[in-house]
Structure formats: C-alpha cells, structure tokens
C-alpha cells in the first residue's frame, strides 16, 4: 500500500492496494482522516509512530492489519516524513505485506523446535562440537550407534571416534569445514567395543564456531535447508518486485493527481469547496467564470458574497442542517436556487452539495450549474402551454357553438321539410285517388322513409347538441343519454344526482357541457371496449365547493397500455376539457373492478374565472 497523509492526517492520495487491504475505494479516501480509516483500536496502536513521524523521525515497524472478510495481514510499515523548509507537512506511508515472511519466520521457529525433537528422538546420530572440535552434545541415537554413554562422548573429538585408516582425511575435511563448506562424506568410525561403523557424515561449522555433524541419513535435514534457501530467495525477489511496484505506484499517483487537477480545472460546471464557516478554500475556473470573477478573488472569501441577501440566512441554516446529517451528497434546495454574480446580477442555478470530514474539519463541496437558458426555455414552454390550453378551450367553445347551430338548423329546416313531405304524402294517400295499388304502396313506403329520416335527424340533433341540456338541464340530458345507451346496447345504466348539484349547475352552461361530453365519451368507451353489463353515473357534492362526476362500469378494466394507444384521442379530449375549466380528472381500472372515471370541478359559486361560453 502507498499513500500520502498531510500534517492534519488527511489523505491526499492512495493506491489501489487500499481496496484489497481495507475494502475501500482509494478515490473515496482523498480527504478522509487516517483515524477513520484505521479505526480506534488500530489507530491507538499506530499513534506513537504517527507522532514520531510528524516530529520528523522516520518510522519502521510491524503491525497486524485486519481487513475485509476477516482476513488479517502481517505488515511492515514505513512512515517517511515530508519535510519542507524544516517543517513536516505530511508523511508517505509504505506498507508491505509480510504475511508470508512472518509465516516463514514462524515456520523456522517450528523447524527449530522440530529439529530439537529430531535431535532427541531421531534414529540418526547427531553430534555438536565446540570451536576446538570437542563434542558438547549428543543424542541417544548416536550413543546407541557408537556404544558409548552420553558422558563418554562429551569432550571427545571426531578424531577420537575415527578408525586409524581415516585419520589422513581429516586435514582436508577440517579445511573444508573452516572454509565454511558443508562436509558430506562417508567415514569409518569405531564403536566403543572396537568394531568399525561406516556412517555417512554431514557436518558443517556454524557461524559461532561450533560444528554440527549428523550420522547416517540426513536427507530430511538437507531438504529443510534447501527449502530455507528457496524461501529466502523468494522473499528477496518479492521485496524487489514490491519496491518496483511502489516506485511505479508513486509515478502513477503523481500522474493521477495531475490528471484530476486538470479535470477539476477544466470541468464545465462550477465547483466550490468551503470549510465549516462557509469560507471558500477551493474553486475551479468554471466557477469563476460563472460568478464573473477570478479564482484568486474567491479563495478566502465567504460564500455568502455569491448568495442574494434574502437567501443567506436560509442557506446557512440548510448547510448547517446538512452538516449535522450523515448524507454524503444531495441536491440543494427544494425549488429553484438563485445565485449572485460578482457584478450584482442574480441568476438561477442547479446545485448539489456533498460533505467530507478531514480530521476534525468538515468540508463542503458544491457543484453549480447555470440554468438561465433552461429556466427561460421552461418559462416559454409554460407560456406556450397556457396559450395552447386557451386555444383548446376556445376551439371547444367554437365547436359546441357550431354543434348547437347545426342542430338548430337541422331541427328548423331539415326536420320541418321532412315533416311537410310526410304530411303531403299522407294527404295524397287519404285523397281516395284512383291509383294503382303499386302506387299506393309506393306512397306508404315514402311515408315510412320520411319517418325514418325524421328519426335520424332527431338522433343527429341529440348527438350534436341535445336540446335537453339547454331546455331541461344536465340531469335530464344525462338520464336521456343513459336511456339511449341502455336501449341501443342492452347495458344497464343508472343515474344518481344530488339535488343541490342539479340546481347549481343550471347557472354554469360551460360546466354542464363539459360534464355531459365527458359522460358521453366515457359511455362510448364502455360500449366499444369495456364489455360491461352495468354503468353507474353519479353526480354529487364534493368538499371545497366542488362537484364530482363519477362513471363506473363493471367491464374488463382499462389497462395502462390502452391509455397510450396510437390514435386514441378520446381520453386526451376528456382531460383537456376538464383542465380548461381548472378541474381534475382521474381514470383508473383493473380487470377485477372495471373502470372508474372521476371528474372534479368547482361549483359556480366557487368559480373565480369568468365563463366565456356563458356570454
């Protein structure tokens, strides 16, 4: 692991190894306290070394470091002070995983104990001599092999145990031993009873001058020594690799820090960091451009200079409340946030705030986005939408007026003409003219056609603009519409109207027309799509001086996919009619409960907007 901590124990950079050791993203460590990373127990253990390195003393120590998943690593930590002009401004932390080294050390201890046990229990003879070559220790196996008691061998030399024929080889063997080499050869020894004993001897001179010799098979010991050498070489290679990796990591961190600084300075959004007192400690070029000043002019000043006077108290309270919470980041404000440029101009922004605690200091970072153009576009869109609503309302009034005019013309002109035709045909038929029977039949057919045409005109008049709305009111029109639906499509339709609503609606033709058209469109949808057997139409008072129209059917229910079908303008027309009156409409359904349409509009007494259609 490689990291740099400043004098306040705040992280300036950390490499990817921290993800494996502590399970944290190294990018999130920047600005984090070393105490928070290590935790109270591990920090307390390391605190003497931290104090020492902050006083300028390089530290090298071992520590057990618990990590994620219950893994504990044995580490060798090196704290190197960063001294600038005689002052320690921080320190570089280099931590190497020596778990394997520690394991090897423990294994060596175990091996030593193991060798002692082998010394005591081994079937092979083991001899230990001092610098003069006199034996100071011997195991039972050796005593048994040579036929000597332990006390008899102590004080003897290898020369005392050799057969006379082997004495000439001693100078070469001793020179080899003095040179530090390992002597491995077969020798002929003499037992206490004088019998020869050929043995394989493996001996060497220890660093303290003592000599160790093993008799007979020493294969296991040779294997252990080879393993020790291999472990030592592997450790040296690992340390070399780690050192190279640390150098590379240092270079990478320097490049990464430069890259991050470049990103910070070249970001298109304004970034400002303040302390707990709302003093600006960091700002990028985009923030300076946004507030029309220089970065240097912003540093060290209060952020309140860039907030309109009327919002400063609320802003300070919001930041204080956010600082007491545990949230890492969130948008600022519930509505539009207004900022103040250096030249005094106010402008809308979007801002998100985040916090981080470094040591005992809390820092707040706010990312600003100038939304002046978006705010203007939204205002234009709202204005266009309002104009569109007025246009839809006007078109609806024009359409209703045109329907009323056409229905009157059909009633006053076409229906009267058809009535006259029928009367003339009936008069001819009753004149007792001597006409062939085929012509009498033709007159009867013409009269029947006239009746049919009159029925059609009456139905067209009702569909265009039912006379009942203007003559008898909404209730009668709804009942007539329900009766027609029941007769034509065999669907049971019931109408239930509150008396107060019926009286009040007579004063508001625009509401009457809207509720009638919504009911008409809803019944058309029931006939075409619902496969229903019953429809209940309810008109009643609602809280707040409003009237509620509810149309419920027991059909298959309206699904979300049905609302979004291409070319389906019925539901859209219903919504626009209701919205033009400032009302609300909800349409919901399910396969088990059918579909319910609810419309709520203000009663005439509660209407504040003049109804132009009543003029």
The tens digit of pLDDT for each residue in 123-175 reads: 788 889 998 889 999 988 889 888 999 999 999 998 999 989 989 988 888 88
What does the pLDDT average to over 539-559? Answer: 85
Q: Which of 258-267, 280-289, 467-476, 558-567 has the highest average model confidence (pLDDT)?
A: 280-289
What does the pLDDT average to over 76-84? Answer: 94
Identify the CA nearest to 217 among candidates 338, 123, 96, 114.
Answer: 123
Say which CATH architecture domain 268-370 belongs to: 2-Layer Sandwich (3.30)
Give the 3-state DSSP-derived string for 97-162, with helices as H, strands as E and coil as C.
ECHHHHHHHHHHHHHHHHHHHHHHHCCCEEEEECCCCEEEEECHHHHHHHCCCHHHHCCCEHHHHE
Domain ranges of the chain: 2-97, 125-216, 268-370, 379-465, 469-615
The pLDDT, as a whole number, for residue 132 is 87
The pLDDT, as a whole number, for residue 80 is 95
The pLDDT, as a whole number, for residue 470 is 65
Q: What percent of the chain has pLDDT over 90?
A: 18
Q: Does residue 583 surpass a pLDDT of 90?
A: no
Which of 9-23, 89-103, 156-170, 400-414 shows the lowest per-residue confidence on average (mean pLDDT)?
Answer: 400-414
Burial group, residue 403, by CB count within 10 angstroms (0-12, 13-18, 19+):
middle
The pLDDT, as a whole number, for residue 605 is 54
The pLDDT, as a whole number, for residue 457 is 72
Q: Does residue 614 surpass a pLDDT of 60?
A: no
The pLDDT, as a whole number, for residue 612 is 40
Structure-model confidence comparison of residues 569 and 61, the more confident one: 61
pLDDT class for 564, splitting at 50, 70, 90?
low
Same topology, domains 268-370 and 469-615? Answer is no
The pLDDT, as a whole number, for residue 220 is 56
The pLDDT, as a whole number, for residue 33 is 92
CATH number for the region 125-216 comes to: 3.30.450.20
Reported as a single tens digit per residue, the pLDDT across 319-362 is 888 888 766 566 665 456 888 888 988 888 888 888 888 777 88
Residues 6+ apart with CB under 8 A from 570: 521, 524, 525
Reported as a single tens digit per residue, the pLDDT across 410-466 is 666 666 677 777 777 777 766 656 667 677 677 777 777 777 777 777 667 666 556
What class has domain 469-615? alpha beta
CATH number for the region 2-97 comes to: 3.30.450.20
Rounded Cα distance between 418 and 575, Å, is 39
């Amino acid at each position: 692991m490689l990291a740099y901590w400043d004098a306040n124990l705040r992280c300036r950079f950390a490499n990817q190894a921290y993800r494996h050791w502590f399970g944290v993203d190294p990018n999130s460590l920047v600005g984090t306290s070393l105490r928070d990373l290590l935790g109270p127990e591990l920090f307390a253990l390391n605190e003497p070394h931290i104090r020492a390195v902050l006083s300028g003393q390089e530290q090298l120590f071992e520590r057990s470091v618990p990590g994620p998943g219950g893994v504990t690593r044995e580490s060798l930590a090196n704290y190197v002070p960063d001294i600038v002009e005689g002052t320690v401004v921080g320190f570089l932390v280099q931590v190497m995983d020596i778990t394997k080294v520690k394991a090897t050390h423990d294994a060596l201890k175990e091996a030593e104990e193991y060798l002692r046990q082998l010394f005591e229990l081994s079937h092979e003879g083991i001899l230990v001599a001092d610098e003069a070559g006199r034996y100071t220790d011997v195991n039972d196996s050796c005593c048994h092999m040579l036929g000597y008691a332990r006390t008899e061998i102590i004080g003897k030399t290898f020369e005392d145990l050799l057969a006379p024929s082997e004495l000439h080889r001693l100078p070469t063997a001793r020179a080899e031993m003095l040179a530090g080499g390992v002597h491995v050869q077969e020798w002929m020894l003499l037992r206490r009873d004088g019998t020869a004993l050929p043995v394989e001897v493996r001996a060497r001179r220890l660093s303290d001058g003592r000599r160790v010799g093993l008799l007979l098979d020493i294969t296991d010991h040779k294997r252990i020594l080879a393993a020790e050498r291999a472990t030592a070489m592997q450790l040296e290679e690992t340390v070399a690799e780690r050192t190279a990796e640390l150098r590379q990591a240092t270079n990478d961190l320097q490049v990464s820090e430069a890259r991050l600084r470049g990103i910070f300075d070249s970001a298109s959004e304004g970034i400002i960091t303040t302390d707990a007192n709302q003093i600006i400690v960091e700002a990028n070029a985009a923030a300076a451009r946004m507030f029309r000043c220089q970065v240097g002019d912003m540093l060290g000043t209060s952020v309140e200079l860039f907030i309109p006077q009327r919002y400063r108290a609320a802003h300070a309270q919001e930041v204080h409340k956010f600082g007491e919470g545990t949230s890492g980041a969130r948008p600022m404000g519930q509505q539009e946030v207004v900022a103040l440029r250096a030249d005094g101009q106010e402008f809308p922004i979007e801002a998100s705030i985040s916090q981080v605690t470094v040591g005992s200091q809390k820092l707040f970072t706010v990312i600003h986005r100038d939304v002046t153009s978006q705010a203007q576009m939204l205002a234009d869109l709202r204005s266009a939408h309002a104009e569109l609503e007025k246009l839809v309302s006007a078109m609806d009034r024009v359409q209703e007026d045109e329907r009323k005019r056409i229905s009157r013309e059909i009633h006053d002109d076409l229906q009267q003409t058809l009535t006259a035709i029928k009367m003339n045909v009936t008069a001819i038929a009753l004149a007792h003219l001597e006409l062939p029977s085929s012509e009498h039949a033709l007159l009867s057919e013409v009269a029947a056609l006239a009746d049919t045409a009159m029925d059609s005109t009456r139905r067209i008049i009702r569909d265009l603009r039912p006379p009942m709305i203007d003559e008898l009111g909404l209730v009668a029109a709804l009942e007539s519409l329900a009766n027609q639906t029941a007769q034509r499509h065999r669907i049971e339709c019931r109408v239930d109207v509150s008396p107060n609503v019926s009286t009040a609606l007579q004063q508001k033709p625009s509401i009457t027309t809207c509720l009638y058209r919504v009911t008409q469109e809803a019944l058309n949808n029931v006939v075409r799509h619902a496969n229903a057997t019953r429809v209940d139409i309810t008109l009643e008072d609602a809280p707040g001086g409003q009237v509620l129209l509810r149309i419920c059917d027991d059909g298959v229910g309206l699904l979300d996919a049905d609302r979004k079908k291409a070319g389906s303008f019925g539901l859209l027309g219903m919504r626009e009619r209701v919205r033009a009156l400032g009302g609300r409409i909800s349409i919901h359904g399910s396969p088990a409960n059918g579909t319910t349409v609810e419309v709520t509009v203000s009663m005439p007494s509660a209407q504040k907007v003049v109804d132009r259609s009543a003029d």
